[in-house]
């Protein structure tokens, strides 16, 4: 669940598209397509039974495999863009959205959550929001709580 709200939405879209491509019948026999996904899912399976609760830090290696799978979707969209104009627009939109997400989250990269977390993730009844940033707050939140925000890192 934490990966779903800490990962930018354009990356998730490319990841799901890449997973669908990698697990398609034509590519299922080639381990180069399914091995990165198996690597990431293997890490996630072991972390499900772990008692470590430090946010996403202990599962960050999954992003290596996820990035390769998302790259498969990017390459497929580039191939389709030669004949289908919508593929070029879709890829351009996703990449611009991804870059804008990063730019708008500056300088608060650690406490970043995407739109799936809601507008106020720290107030959710399940308590997930309190663990999303693992104690990190945005530069604007510290003065509101009566603490001094750090001037530099």
pLDDT of residue 122: 58
Query: Three-class SS of residue 125?
Result: coil
* Residue 145 lies inside a defined structural domain of this protein: no
* Residue 103 lies inside a defined structural domain of this protein: yes
Note if the bond before 107 is cis, omega within 30 degrees: yes
Residue tagged 């598209």 (tokens): 17
Query: Bigger pLDDT: 87 or 5?
Result: 87
**Structural domain containing residue 118:** 2-138
**Whole-prediction pTM value?**
0.73
| pLDDT tens per residue across span 96-115 | 999 998 888 888 777 778 87
| pLDDT tens per residue across span 17-37 | 999 998 887 777 788 888 999
Q: Is the pLDDT of residue 135 over 60?
A: no
Residue 105, CB-side half-sphere exposure with 13 Å CA sphere: 18
Q: Alpha-carbon distance 39 to 46, whole Å?
A: 11
* Residue 148 lies inside a defined structural domain of this protein: no
Q: Alpha-carbon distance 65 to 82, whole Å?
A: 27
* Residue 87 lies inside a defined structural domain of this protein: yes
| pLDDT tens per residue across span 50-96 | 887 777 788 889 999 999 999 999 999 999 999 999 999 999 999 99
Which of 138, 122, 2 has its CA nearest to residue 60?
2
Question: What are the backbone dihedrals phi and psi of residue 53, each rounded to the nearest 5 degrees, phi first?
Answer: -130, 70
CB 53 within 8 Å of CB 130: no
* Residue 35 lies inside a defined structural domain of this protein: yes
pLDDT of residue 137: 54
* Residue 144 lies inside a defined structural domain of this protein: no
pLDDT of residue 57: 80
CB 141 within 8 Å of CB 115: no
């Amino acid at each position: 669940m934490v990966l779903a709200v800490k990962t930018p939405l354009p990356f998730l879209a490319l990841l799901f598209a890449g997973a669908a491509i990698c697990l398609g019948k034509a590519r299922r026999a080639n381990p180069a397509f399914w091995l990165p996904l198996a690597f990431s899912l293997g890490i996630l399976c072991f972390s499900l039974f772990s008692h470590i609760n430090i946010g996403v830090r202990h599962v960050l290696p999954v992003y290596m495999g996820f990035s390769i799978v998302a790259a498969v979707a990017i390459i497929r969209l580039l191939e389709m863009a030669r004949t289908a104009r919508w593929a070029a627009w879709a890829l351009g939109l996703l990449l611009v959205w991804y870059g804008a997400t990063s730019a708008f989250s500056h300088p608060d990269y650690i406490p970043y959550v995407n739109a799936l977390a809601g507008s106020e993730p720290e107030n959710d009844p399940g308590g997930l929001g309190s663990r999303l940033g693992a104690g990190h707050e945005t530069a604007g939140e510290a003065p509101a709580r009566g603490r001094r925000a750090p001037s530099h890192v």
